[in-house]
Structure 1
Amino acid sequence: MGTDELTDVLADAQGFLFDFDGPLCDVFAGRPAPRVAGELTELAVGWEPALAERLHGVDDPIEVLRLVHAADVDLGHEVERALTAAEVEAVAVAGAPTPGGAAALRAAREAGRRVAVVSNNSAECVRAYLDRHDLSAYVLEVVGRAEHQPDLMKPNPHPLITAAESLGVDVTRCVLIGDSVTDVQAAHAVGAVAIGYAGGTDQPELLVEAGADAVIRTMQAVADVLESE
Protein backbone atom coordinates (compact mmCIF):
# COMPACT_ATOMS: atom_id res chain seq x y z
CA MET A 1 0.00 0.00 0.00
CA GLY A 2 1.05 3.62 -0.42
CA THR A 3 2.60 5.76 2.27
CA ASP A 4 -0.41 8.10 2.39
CA GLU A 5 -2.80 5.24 3.08
CA LEU A 6 -0.60 3.82 5.83
CA THR A 7 -0.27 7.29 7.36
CA ASP A 8 -4.06 7.55 7.54
CA VAL A 9 -4.36 4.13 9.18
CA LEU A 10 -1.76 4.94 11.83
CA ALA A 11 -2.78 8.54 12.49
CA ASP A 12 -5.32 7.97 15.27
CA ALA A 13 -3.62 5.03 16.95
CA GLN A 14 -2.57 5.68 20.53
CA GLY A 15 -1.52 2.13 21.32
CA PHE A 16 0.75 0.08 19.10
CA LEU A 17 0.45 -3.67 19.64
CA PHE A 18 3.11 -5.75 17.91
CA ASP A 19 2.78 -9.44 17.26
CA PHE A 20 6.11 -11.09 18.04
CA ASP A 21 6.78 -14.02 15.72
CA GLY A 22 7.03 -12.42 12.30
CA PRO A 23 6.92 -8.65 12.76
CA LEU A 24 9.71 -8.60 15.33
CA CYS A 25 11.45 -11.97 15.26
CA ASP A 26 11.58 -15.25 13.39
CA VAL A 27 11.23 -17.28 16.58
CA PHE A 28 12.13 -20.67 15.17
CA ALA A 29 14.75 -19.56 12.65
CA GLY A 30 17.53 -21.36 14.51
CA ARG A 31 15.46 -24.18 15.97
CA PRO A 32 12.90 -25.14 13.31
CA ALA A 33 9.26 -25.21 14.32
CA PRO A 34 8.60 -28.68 12.83
CA ARG A 35 11.38 -30.11 14.98
CA VAL A 36 9.94 -28.51 18.12
CA ALA A 37 6.45 -29.69 17.17
CA GLY A 38 7.84 -33.19 16.77
CA GLU A 39 9.44 -33.08 20.20
CA LEU A 40 6.18 -31.93 21.78
CA THR A 41 4.25 -34.62 19.93
CA GLU A 42 6.68 -37.25 21.16
CA LEU A 43 6.20 -36.02 24.71
CA ALA A 44 2.41 -36.04 24.43
CA VAL A 45 2.17 -39.44 22.76
CA GLY A 46 4.54 -40.89 25.36
CA TRP A 47 1.96 -39.97 27.98
CA GLU A 48 -1.13 -40.66 25.88
CA PRO A 49 -0.61 -42.94 22.83
CA ALA A 50 -4.16 -42.29 21.65
CA LEU A 51 -3.09 -38.79 20.61
CA ALA A 52 -0.75 -40.10 17.92
CA GLU A 53 -3.33 -39.96 15.15
CA ARG A 54 -4.58 -36.51 16.11
CA LEU A 55 -1.07 -35.04 16.18
CA HIS A 56 0.27 -36.82 13.11
CA GLY A 57 1.74 -34.32 10.65
CA VAL A 58 1.19 -31.26 12.85
CA ASP A 59 4.30 -29.10 12.39
CA ASP A 60 3.25 -26.00 14.34
CA PRO A 61 4.22 -26.15 18.05
CA ILE A 62 1.38 -23.81 19.01
CA GLU A 63 -1.13 -26.06 17.28
CA VAL A 64 0.28 -29.10 19.08
CA LEU A 65 -0.39 -27.31 22.36
CA ARG A 66 -3.94 -26.43 21.33
CA LEU A 67 -4.76 -30.00 20.35
CA VAL A 68 -3.20 -31.63 23.40
CA HIS A 69 -4.82 -29.20 25.83
CA ALA A 70 -8.22 -29.79 24.21
CA ALA A 71 -7.78 -33.53 24.68
CA ASP A 72 -6.22 -33.60 28.15
CA VAL A 73 -5.79 -30.51 30.30
CA ASP A 74 -3.14 -31.96 32.61
CA LEU A 75 -1.08 -33.24 29.71
CA GLY A 76 -1.58 -29.88 28.06
CA HIS A 77 0.16 -28.27 31.02
CA GLU A 78 3.15 -30.57 30.53
CA VAL A 79 3.33 -29.74 26.83
CA GLU A 80 2.98 -26.05 27.63
CA ARG A 81 5.96 -26.14 29.98
CA ALA A 82 8.01 -27.94 27.34
CA LEU A 83 6.95 -25.45 24.66
CA THR A 84 7.90 -22.46 26.80
CA ALA A 85 11.33 -23.94 27.45
CA ALA A 86 11.76 -24.64 23.73
CA GLU A 87 10.75 -21.09 22.82
CA VAL A 88 13.28 -19.59 25.23
CA GLU A 89 15.97 -21.81 23.71
CA ALA A 90 14.82 -20.92 20.20
CA VAL A 91 14.96 -17.15 20.60
CA ALA A 92 18.52 -17.44 21.90
CA VAL A 93 19.54 -18.64 18.43
CA ALA A 94 16.90 -16.85 16.36
CA GLY A 95 19.23 -14.20 15.01
CA ALA A 96 18.64 -10.51 14.39
CA PRO A 97 15.20 -8.90 14.58
CA THR A 98 12.97 -8.81 11.53
CA PRO A 99 14.24 -6.06 9.19
CA GLY A 100 12.55 -2.84 10.22
CA GLY A 101 11.01 -4.37 13.33
CA ALA A 102 13.36 -2.75 15.83
CA ALA A 103 13.08 0.56 13.96
CA ALA A 104 9.29 0.37 14.17
CA LEU A 105 9.41 -0.20 17.93
CA ARG A 106 11.75 2.75 18.44
CA ALA A 107 9.78 5.03 16.15
CA ALA A 108 6.50 4.22 17.89
CA ARG A 109 7.89 5.10 21.31
CA GLU A 110 9.68 8.21 20.05
CA ALA A 111 6.40 9.34 18.45
CA GLY A 112 4.75 9.15 21.87
CA ARG A 113 2.75 5.99 21.25
CA ARG A 114 2.30 3.39 23.95
CA VAL A 115 3.78 0.08 22.84
CA ALA A 116 3.09 -3.53 23.78
CA VAL A 117 3.92 -6.92 22.36
CA VAL A 118 1.00 -9.36 22.17
CA SER A 119 1.96 -12.90 21.28
CA ASN A 120 0.82 -16.52 21.22
CA ASN A 121 4.39 -17.31 22.23
CA SER A 122 5.33 -17.24 25.90
CA ALA A 123 6.01 -13.92 27.57
CA GLU A 124 9.26 -15.46 28.83
CA CYS A 125 10.67 -15.90 25.36
CA VAL A 126 9.51 -12.47 24.23
CA ARG A 127 11.18 -10.74 27.17
CA ALA A 128 14.34 -12.80 26.73
CA TYR A 129 14.57 -11.77 23.09
CA LEU A 130 13.86 -8.09 23.74
CA ASP A 131 16.53 -8.05 26.45
CA ARG A 132 19.05 -9.83 24.23
CA HIS A 133 18.62 -7.26 21.46
CA ASP A 134 18.35 -4.16 23.70
CA LEU A 135 14.72 -3.50 22.76
CA SER A 136 13.02 -3.77 26.14
CA ALA A 137 13.16 -0.03 26.73
CA TYR A 138 10.76 0.54 23.83
CA VAL A 139 8.10 -1.87 25.07
CA LEU A 140 5.86 -0.97 28.00
CA GLU A 141 4.03 -4.28 28.24
CA VAL A 142 4.42 -7.88 27.09
CA VAL A 143 1.31 -10.05 26.92
CA GLY A 144 2.21 -13.60 26.00
CA ARG A 145 0.32 -16.86 25.98
CA ALA A 146 -2.01 -17.04 28.98
CA GLU A 147 -0.73 -19.73 31.33
CA HIS A 148 -2.81 -22.93 31.19
CA GLN A 149 -5.36 -21.23 28.92
CA PRO A 150 -4.41 -21.73 25.27
CA ASP A 151 -8.01 -20.99 24.32
CA LEU A 152 -7.20 -17.34 25.10
CA MET A 153 -4.54 -17.16 22.38
CA LYS A 154 -5.32 -15.12 19.26
CA PRO A 155 -7.73 -15.10 17.44
CA ASN A 156 -9.26 -14.63 20.89
CA PRO A 157 -8.91 -10.87 21.53
CA HIS A 158 -8.00 -11.43 25.18
CA PRO A 159 -4.29 -10.49 24.70
CA LEU A 160 -5.26 -7.23 22.98
CA ILE A 161 -7.74 -6.28 25.69
CA THR A 162 -5.21 -7.09 28.40
CA ALA A 163 -2.48 -5.07 26.70
CA ALA A 164 -4.71 -2.06 26.07
CA GLU A 165 -5.85 -1.99 29.69
CA SER A 166 -2.25 -2.18 30.88
CA LEU A 167 -1.26 0.65 28.54
CA GLY A 168 -4.19 2.77 29.67
CA VAL A 169 -5.49 3.03 26.10
CA ASP A 170 -8.94 2.22 24.74
CA VAL A 171 -8.52 -0.92 22.66
CA THR A 172 -10.39 0.73 19.78
CA ARG A 173 -7.57 3.29 19.61
CA CYS A 174 -4.99 0.56 19.14
CA VAL A 175 -3.41 -0.87 16.04
CA LEU A 176 -2.21 -4.47 15.93
CA ILE A 177 0.61 -5.28 13.55
CA GLY A 178 0.65 -9.00 12.84
CA ASP A 179 1.42 -11.48 10.10
CA SER A 180 -1.48 -13.90 10.36
CA VAL A 181 -5.20 -14.07 9.73
CA THR A 182 -5.74 -14.70 13.44
CA ASP A 183 -4.15 -11.32 14.20
CA VAL A 184 -6.63 -9.60 11.90
CA GLN A 185 -9.51 -11.50 13.46
CA ALA A 186 -8.44 -10.65 17.00
CA ALA A 187 -8.07 -6.94 16.22
CA HIS A 188 -11.40 -6.60 14.46
CA ALA A 189 -13.20 -8.53 17.21
CA VAL A 190 -12.60 -5.56 19.54
CA GLY A 191 -12.70 -2.72 17.02
CA ALA A 192 -8.94 -2.24 16.75
CA VAL A 193 -7.09 -1.54 13.51
CA ALA A 194 -5.26 -4.47 11.91
CA ILE A 195 -2.11 -4.00 9.86
CA GLY A 196 -1.00 -7.16 8.12
CA TYR A 197 2.73 -7.68 7.80
CA ALA A 198 3.31 -9.73 4.67
CA GLY A 199 6.89 -10.85 4.87
CA GLY A 200 6.24 -13.94 2.75
CA THR A 201 5.14 -14.17 -0.85
CA ASP A 202 1.80 -15.87 -0.12
CA GLN A 203 0.68 -13.75 2.79
CA PRO A 204 -0.66 -10.51 1.22
CA GLU A 205 -3.70 -12.13 -0.38
CA LEU A 206 -4.60 -14.00 2.80
CA LEU A 207 -4.36 -10.84 4.89
CA VAL A 208 -6.37 -8.81 2.39
CA GLU A 209 -9.07 -11.48 2.27
CA ALA A 210 -9.17 -11.48 6.07
CA GLY A 211 -9.97 -7.77 5.97
CA ALA A 212 -6.70 -6.21 7.16
CA ASP A 213 -7.02 -2.43 7.21
CA ALA A 214 -3.60 -2.18 5.60
CA VAL A 215 -0.98 -4.62 4.36
CA ILE A 216 2.73 -3.87 4.41
CA ARG A 217 5.67 -5.74 2.91
CA THR A 218 8.27 -4.44 5.34
CA MET A 219 8.21 -3.32 8.95
CA GLN A 220 10.36 -0.36 7.96
CA ALA A 221 7.24 1.14 6.39
CA VAL A 222 5.77 1.67 9.86
CA ALA A 223 8.96 3.32 11.10
CA ASP A 224 9.12 5.59 8.06
CA VAL A 225 5.58 6.86 8.58
CA LEU A 226 6.06 7.52 12.28
CA GLU A 227 9.41 9.22 11.76
CA SER A 228 7.82 11.59 9.23
CA GLU A 229 5.13 12.86 11.62
Structure 2
Amino acid sequence: MFEIWIQEEQYYCKDHYVKINNKIKAYSLSANENEKSYIETNKQFLFEMLNTQKRFPLYITFIAYDDYSDIKETFEKAEIEYKVEILDETNTVWTDGVILKYNLPCFRVRANNSDSLKIILNTTYYLAAQNEFYAICYFNNLIFKTEEIDIRRLKNKKVKKNVSIPYFNINESATLFTIEHDGAGFYIFSNEEKYSSIERLICQLPKKTVITQINDNPIE
Protein backbone atom coordinates (compact mmCIF):
# COMPACT_ATOMS: atom_id res chain seq x y z
CA MET A 1 0.00 0.00 0.00
CA PHE A 2 1.21 3.50 -0.87
CA GLU A 3 0.15 6.76 0.74
CA ILE A 4 0.59 9.53 -1.81
CA TRP A 5 0.25 13.25 -2.41
CA ILE A 6 -0.97 14.49 -5.82
CA GLN A 7 -0.17 18.01 -6.99
CA GLU A 8 -1.31 19.64 -10.23
CA GLU A 9 1.65 21.33 -11.93
CA GLN A 10 2.34 23.64 -14.83
CA TYR A 11 3.24 21.89 -18.06
CA TYR A 12 6.98 22.49 -17.59
CA CYS A 13 9.12 20.43 -15.24
CA LYS A 14 10.56 22.46 -12.36
CA ASP A 15 13.34 20.20 -11.20
CA HIS A 16 14.45 18.25 -14.27
CA TYR A 17 14.41 20.79 -17.04
CA VAL A 18 12.81 19.45 -20.20
CA LYS A 19 11.28 21.34 -23.11
CA ILE A 20 7.88 20.20 -24.34
CA ASN A 21 6.52 21.39 -27.68
CA ASN A 22 2.93 21.80 -26.49
CA LYS A 23 0.88 22.52 -23.40
CA ILE A 24 -0.26 19.37 -21.64
CA LYS A 25 -1.54 18.29 -18.24
CA ALA A 26 1.11 17.86 -15.57
CA TYR A 27 1.05 16.27 -12.12
CA SER A 28 3.47 15.55 -9.32
CA LEU A 29 2.99 12.30 -7.39
CA SER A 30 4.94 11.57 -4.23
CA ALA A 31 4.69 8.57 -1.92
CA ASN A 32 4.88 9.53 1.74
CA GLU A 33 7.53 7.72 3.75
CA ASN A 34 10.06 8.40 6.46
CA GLU A 35 13.28 10.22 5.65
CA LYS A 36 15.43 7.08 5.46
CA SER A 37 13.36 5.08 2.97
CA TYR A 38 11.57 7.63 0.76
CA ILE A 39 13.80 6.87 -2.27
CA GLU A 40 13.06 3.14 -2.20
CA THR A 41 9.37 3.77 -1.56
CA ASN A 42 9.02 6.16 -4.50
CA LYS A 43 10.99 3.83 -6.76
CA GLN A 44 8.56 1.03 -5.90
CA PHE A 45 5.57 3.33 -6.38
CA LEU A 46 6.86 4.35 -9.82
CA PHE A 47 7.28 0.69 -10.78
CA GLU A 48 3.76 -0.17 -9.65
CA MET A 49 2.31 2.87 -11.41
CA LEU A 50 3.97 1.96 -14.70
CA ASN A 51 3.13 -1.72 -14.34
CA THR A 52 -0.52 -0.90 -13.63
CA GLN A 53 -0.79 0.84 -17.01
CA LYS A 54 0.04 -2.47 -18.78
CA ARG A 55 1.77 -0.67 -21.66
CA PHE A 56 5.03 -1.90 -23.05
CA PRO A 57 7.56 -1.28 -24.37
CA LEU A 58 8.72 1.64 -22.27
CA TYR A 59 11.67 3.83 -23.25
CA ILE A 60 13.89 4.97 -20.38
CA THR A 61 16.39 7.76 -20.98
CA PHE A 62 18.92 8.77 -18.33
CA ILE A 63 22.30 10.43 -17.85
CA ALA A 64 25.04 8.34 -16.23
CA TYR A 65 28.48 9.13 -14.84
CA ASP A 66 31.78 8.58 -16.64
CA ASP A 67 32.10 4.97 -15.39
CA TYR A 68 28.97 3.08 -16.36
CA SER A 69 30.43 -0.38 -16.90
CA ASP A 70 28.34 -1.93 -14.10
CA ILE A 71 25.13 -0.69 -15.72
CA LYS A 72 26.12 -2.11 -19.11
CA GLU A 73 27.08 -5.43 -17.54
CA THR A 74 23.71 -5.73 -15.78
CA PHE A 75 21.74 -4.90 -18.92
CA GLU A 76 23.72 -7.31 -21.08
CA LYS A 77 23.37 -10.12 -18.57
CA ALA A 78 19.59 -9.56 -18.48
CA GLU A 79 19.46 -9.19 -22.30
CA ILE A 80 17.98 -5.71 -22.02
CA GLU A 81 18.18 -3.64 -25.18
CA TYR A 82 20.10 -0.37 -24.77
CA LYS A 83 22.42 2.06 -26.45
CA VAL A 84 24.69 4.82 -25.14
CA GLU A 85 24.77 8.22 -26.80
CA ILE A 86 27.58 10.62 -25.92
CA LEU A 87 26.19 14.14 -25.55
CA ASP A 88 27.94 17.42 -26.31
CA GLU A 89 27.64 18.64 -22.72
CA THR A 90 30.64 17.98 -20.47
CA ASN A 91 31.07 17.43 -16.75
CA THR A 92 34.18 17.95 -14.64
CA VAL A 93 34.96 15.93 -11.50
CA TRP A 94 37.84 15.29 -9.14
CA THR A 95 38.99 11.66 -8.98
CA ASP A 96 42.12 10.47 -7.15
CA GLY A 97 43.39 14.05 -7.04
CA VAL A 98 43.06 14.47 -10.80
CA ILE A 99 40.58 16.65 -12.69
CA LEU A 100 38.55 14.54 -15.09
CA LYS A 101 36.45 16.10 -17.83
CA TYR A 102 34.08 13.91 -19.82
CA ASN A 103 31.09 14.18 -22.12
CA LEU A 104 27.81 13.08 -20.59
CA PRO A 105 26.81 9.51 -21.46
CA CYS A 106 23.10 9.17 -22.20
CA PHE A 107 21.48 5.74 -21.94
CA ARG A 108 18.46 4.87 -24.03
CA VAL A 109 16.95 1.65 -22.70
CA ARG A 110 13.93 -0.38 -23.77
CA ALA A 111 11.83 -2.23 -21.21
CA ASN A 112 9.72 -4.87 -22.96
CA ASN A 113 7.96 -6.15 -19.84
CA SER A 114 7.63 -5.64 -16.09
CA ASP A 115 10.61 -7.90 -15.32
CA SER A 116 13.00 -5.82 -17.42
CA LEU A 117 11.49 -2.61 -16.04
CA LYS A 118 12.19 -3.75 -12.48
CA ILE A 119 15.82 -4.55 -13.35
CA ILE A 120 16.28 -1.17 -15.01
CA LEU A 121 14.82 0.78 -12.08
CA ASN A 122 16.72 -1.25 -9.47
CA THR A 123 19.97 -0.69 -11.39
CA THR A 124 19.64 2.99 -12.26
CA TYR A 125 17.15 4.81 -10.02
CA TYR A 126 20.03 5.96 -7.80
CA LEU A 127 21.04 8.29 -10.66
CA ALA A 128 17.63 9.97 -10.55
CA ALA A 129 17.90 10.22 -6.75
CA GLN A 130 21.21 12.06 -7.31
CA ASN A 131 19.36 14.44 -9.67
CA GLU A 132 20.70 13.18 -12.97
CA PHE A 133 18.22 13.46 -15.82
CA TYR A 134 15.84 10.48 -15.89
CA ALA A 135 12.72 10.10 -18.05
CA ILE A 136 10.32 7.38 -19.17
CA CYS A 137 7.91 7.46 -22.10
CA TYR A 138 5.88 5.10 -24.29
CA PHE A 139 7.42 6.21 -27.56
CA ASN A 140 11.04 6.93 -28.36
CA ASN A 141 10.29 10.63 -28.88
CA LEU A 142 12.72 12.34 -26.52
CA ILE A 143 15.82 13.95 -28.03
CA PHE A 144 18.66 16.19 -26.86
CA LYS A 145 19.66 19.46 -28.49
CA THR A 146 22.80 21.41 -27.67
CA GLU A 147 22.25 25.00 -26.57
CA GLU A 148 24.72 27.61 -25.31
CA ILE A 149 23.67 29.19 -22.03
CA ASP A 150 25.15 31.61 -19.48
CA ILE A 151 26.12 29.71 -16.33
CA ARG A 152 27.85 32.40 -14.25
CA ARG A 153 29.78 35.67 -14.31
CA LEU A 154 33.56 35.76 -13.86
CA LYS A 155 35.18 39.17 -13.42
CA ASN A 156 32.08 40.83 -14.93
CA LYS A 157 32.17 38.52 -17.95
CA LYS A 158 29.56 35.94 -18.76
CA VAL A 159 30.77 32.34 -18.83
CA LYS A 160 28.94 30.23 -21.38
CA LYS A 161 28.55 26.49 -21.59
CA ASN A 162 27.12 24.05 -24.11
CA VAL A 163 24.23 22.26 -22.41
CA SER A 164 22.31 19.25 -23.71
CA ILE A 165 18.61 20.11 -23.34
CA PRO A 166 16.02 17.31 -23.50
CA TYR A 167 13.08 17.91 -25.84
CA PHE A 168 9.88 15.87 -25.65
CA ASN A 169 7.93 15.76 -28.89
CA ILE A 170 4.19 15.64 -28.31
CA ASN A 171 2.24 13.55 -30.78
CA GLU A 172 -1.46 12.70 -30.79
CA SER A 173 -1.14 10.55 -27.67
CA ALA A 174 1.91 11.13 -25.50
CA THR A 175 2.92 10.70 -21.86
CA LEU A 176 6.23 11.46 -20.19
CA PHE A 177 7.37 10.53 -16.67
CA THR A 178 10.32 12.33 -15.06
CA ILE A 179 11.71 11.97 -11.55
CA GLU A 180 11.33 14.61 -8.86
CA HIS A 181 14.21 16.19 -6.96
CA ASP A 182 16.20 13.63 -4.91
CA GLY A 183 14.03 10.80 -6.25
CA ALA A 184 11.15 11.84 -3.96
CA GLY A 185 8.38 11.11 -6.46
CA PHE A 186 7.72 11.65 -10.14
CA TYR A 187 6.00 13.95 -12.61
CA ILE A 188 3.50 12.93 -15.27
CA PHE A 189 3.17 15.08 -18.41
CA SER A 190 0.42 13.90 -20.73
CA ASN A 191 -2.16 14.84 -23.34
CA GLU A 192 -3.93 11.48 -23.00
CA GLU A 193 -7.55 11.44 -21.94
CA LYS A 194 -6.94 9.13 -18.98
CA TYR A 195 -4.69 11.76 -17.38
CA SER A 196 -6.85 14.77 -18.36
CA SER A 197 -8.09 15.40 -14.81
CA ILE A 198 -7.15 14.41 -11.27
CA GLU A 199 -10.26 12.23 -11.11
CA ARG A 200 -9.18 10.29 -14.19
CA LEU A 201 -5.58 10.12 -12.98
CA ILE A 202 -6.79 8.54 -9.73
CA CYS A 203 -8.39 5.74 -11.76
CA GLN A 204 -4.92 4.85 -13.10
CA LEU A 205 -3.28 4.47 -9.69
CA PRO A 206 -2.14 1.07 -8.38
CA LYS A 207 -4.64 -0.82 -6.25
CA LYS A 208 -4.64 -0.05 -2.52
CA THR A 209 -3.14 3.38 -3.09
CA VAL A 210 -4.27 5.82 -0.39
CA ILE A 211 -4.36 9.52 -1.28
CA THR A 212 -3.47 11.68 1.72
CA GLN A 213 -3.45 15.07 -0.03
CA ILE A 214 -4.54 16.65 -3.34
CA ASN A 215 -2.92 20.01 -4.05
CA ASP A 216 -3.17 21.94 -0.76
CA ASN A 217 -6.07 19.91 0.57
CA PRO A 218 -5.39 17.07 3.05
CA ILE A 219 -7.67 14.07 2.67
CA GLU A 220 -9.10 12.93 5.98
When the two structures are superposed, what TM-score results if normalisation uses the length of structure 1?
0.25
> Which structure shows the bigger proportion of residues in helix conformation?
1
Q: Highest relative contact order (Cα 8 Å, sep 6+), 1 or 2? A: 2
> Which structure shows the bigger proportion of residues in strand conformation?
2
Q: Larger Rg: 1 or 2?
A: 2
